[in-house]
Structure 1
Amino acid sequence: MAKTFDVELHGIRKTFGSNVVVDRFDLQIERGECISFLGPSGCGKTTTLNMIAGFLDPDQGELWIKGKRMNGVPANRRDLGMVFQTYSLFPHMSVADNVGYGLKLRKAAKEEIKTRVAQALELVKLPHVADRYPKQLSGGQRQRIAIARALVTEPSLLLLDEPLSNLDAKLREELREELKRLHKETGVTTIFVTHDQEEALYLSDRIVVLDHGKVEQIGTPYEIYNEPASEFVHTFIGKSNRLTGHVTGLRGEHVELLAGQGEQVFTLTASPRGRAFASGQPVSIYLRPEKIYLEPAGQAEASVTQERVSVAGQIRQLAFLGSFIECEVAVGSETMMVRVPAGLQPQSLTAGQQVSLSWHPADVFVFPGKGQ
């Protein structure tokens, strides 16, 4: 059976004056998917969402929703629900009237509005606030009401423009759990715009990583984090140690590298992951903190084995961060961050202690040239 796409973008391009904001954007979103547009400020994610919503028209390319070409079709004819960064609730209306406003514009019967508003409020677990006004609600409650208002019309597509950014950390965590539950219960195709990588990883079936108006990578959260297509994607998603070095040779399916400087230079091997490298080529080398093993009383000198690379270091400082301990370790003139699960961490580790760091070659990422 052929896949059914709710949204299709073909060669979408948008400029403001001489500034290219979105360039050659291609994407197909399956029915029921939750897709995140992720990237730094100014990368084009909100502009793309506004073109899908109908607030902007693309300069080039075609936009299709539910099999219909939408170029030039106004926003009120696209059957969309949208939740903004700000709550955008009418302060003079009760919660029930705010939620039912879209149904009223569609001239739905009063009894139907009453029933569907009650269902929407039940969906966001706020049936008891129907008679209150927005000023009587917390920030988290207001955003849930905004979500209920977007869902009450049973839209074919739900657009979320950084809906959690105005909430404090605890509320953001609670509401993203709520959004995941709502998506599972309603099955509505959802596009979520965010600059927060944790939100994107948590909520998405697939993530679109954008930079300067161009798509860097489209993939599942696992693919984006573990198989980044570019140096930008790797550095934007999660934390990583960066080392500079150069290629010393190729051995079988691995590339051999020399990294570090000053007091300690050490050898690494890594998978090229389909990239071409030449002997002597400068490279950027990345290793995530949670992929590094830390052991007390490490080896005195760096060594290379088939299974792991091991190198000596000294703990500079430790930081307890709840589920893990972050260790800052000096390796010669380099500094490497290591994350150790707090439950497994020996109490004997202290600042100034000599340790051994080790990692698997498969966990090393190498990118040519850029950033040297």
Structure 2
Amino acid sequence: MAKSIDVELLNVQKKFGSNVVVDNFNLQVEKGECVSFLGPSGCGKTTTLNMIAGFLEPDQGDLLIKGKRMNGVPSNKRDLGMVFQTYSLFPHMTVAENVGYGLKLRKVAKAEIAERVGKVLELVKLPHVADRYPKQLSGGQRQRIAIARALVTEPSLLLLDEPLSNLDAKLREELRDELKRLQQEIGVTTIFVTHDQEEALYLSSRIVVLDHGKVEQIGTPWEIYNRPASEFVHTFIGKSNRMQGVVEQVQGDTLVLKTASGFTLQAPSRERRFSIGEPVSIYVRPEKIHLQTADARAESNNEMQGRVKLTSFLGAYTECEVEVGHDVLTFRIETAEQEASLAAGQTVNLNWKSEDVFVFSGQVKEQ
């Protein structure tokens, strides 16, 4: 069955003066997908969203929505809903009037406006606030109303520009859950801009990782986390331990590495080319490192001994820092199993599988 493409960007570029903010952006967003643009401040994610919305025009390339070229088409002709960082609610209007405002502009009959506003307020679980004013709502409620206002016109495309960034941690988590429920329930094609990797991993069917206006990788959350296409993607997504080293041997698809602290490790080349003596950056994620047991050792290709520097209780797990030569490695253990047996100064043996190591050419890059 042929895929239905709702949004397509073809070689899109945007400059501000001589500064290239978005460079050669190519993407297809399928109907019903939730795609996140993820990256640090200044990477071009909001600029790209604003081009899709019609607030900015690309300098080069084409932008299509449902197969129609949108270059030069005003925002109000693009059949989309948008939610911003700020709530942008009219303070002198009630919630119902705010939500129904877009329908009023479209000259929808009053009875239909009332019906559709009622339905969308039910959808965001806030039917009881219809007669209140924005100042009478909490931050989380205001953002839900902003989402309801974007959905009430039944757009074919929903654009979200960091809608959770102004909320406290607990509200962010609650509204993140609500957004996922709404997106799956309605099935509206959604593009979500965020600098928060956890939000992107949680909400998205696919993630576009951006850096300095360029697409570093497009993939599912699993692919982005477990099969990063570049060192930037690996270090930007999740935590990772970093070590410096050199390549000692290349044995087919397996690299033998010597760390700056003198340990020998094995790692897959992942189809990258390395030469003997080449300096490399070596990465392994905390959750891939284990305290050595007989079973773990049998599966492991890499072992190190170090001294516990610090333990931090984080509820379900305890995070431990271990000094290993010149390096400090972080790993996690389930609190219920190991918390009581680890203490600062204790010597521990660590191991992990070679397949869990990522190697990139050059020295460690600071983010």
Normalising by the smaller structure, the TM-score range is over 0.9
Q: 346, 362, 366: which one pairs with 2:355?
A: 362
Question: Which residue matches 2:25?
Answer: 25
- Indicate conservation of the 8 Å contact 2:194/2:200, yes or no: yes
Question: Which residue matches 1:288?
Answer: 285
2:259 matches 1:266: no
Shift of 1:334: 1.1
Distance 1:253 1:272 in 2: 5
2:210 matches 1:210: yes
Shift of 1:345: 1.9
Shift of 1:260: 2.8
AA in 1 matched with 2:5: F
Shift of 1:322: 1.3
Structure 2 unaligned blocks of 5 or more: none
Distance 1:80 1:95 in 2: 21
2:317 matches 1:320: no
Question: Which residue matches 1:180?
Answer: 180
Distance 1:124 1:345 in 2: 42
Distance 1:131 1:306 in 2: 63
Task: Give the 3 Å change call, closer, same or farther, for CA 109–137 of structure 1 in structure 2.
Answer: same
Structure 1 unaligned blocks of 5 or more: 299-303
AA in 2 matched with 1:74: P
CA deviations 1:224-281 (Å, max 9, x no partner) are 00000000000000000000001001123211100133xxx10011111110111111
Q: What aligned pairs does 1:1-372 form with structure 2 within 5 A after superposition?
A: 1-261=1-261, 265-295=262-292, 307-369=300-362, 371=364
Shift of 1:2: 1.5
Distance 2:129 2:173 in 1: 22
- Indicate conservation of the 8 Å contact 2:242/2:364, yes or no: no
Q: SS in structure 2 opposite 1:100?
A: helix
Distance 1:121 1:344 in 2: 46
AA in 2 matched with 1:329: V
User: How many matched pairs?
Assistant: 363
Q: SS in structure 2 opposite 1:345?
A: helix
Superposed CA RMSD: 1.4
TM-score (norm 2): 0.97
Distance 2:340 2:78 in 1: 59
- Indicate conservation of the 8 Å contact 2:243/2:364, yes or no: no
Distance 2:350 2:63 in 1: 50
CA deviations 1:147-189 (Å, max 9, x no partner) are 0000000000000000000000000000000000000110000
Shift of 1:195: 0.0
Q: Percentage identity across aligned positions?
A: 71
Runs (4+) of structure 1 exceeding 6 A deviation are none
AA in 2 matched with 1:101: Y
Distance 1:344 1:49 in 2: 46
CA deviations 1:93-119 (Å, max 9, x no partner) are 000000000000000000000000000
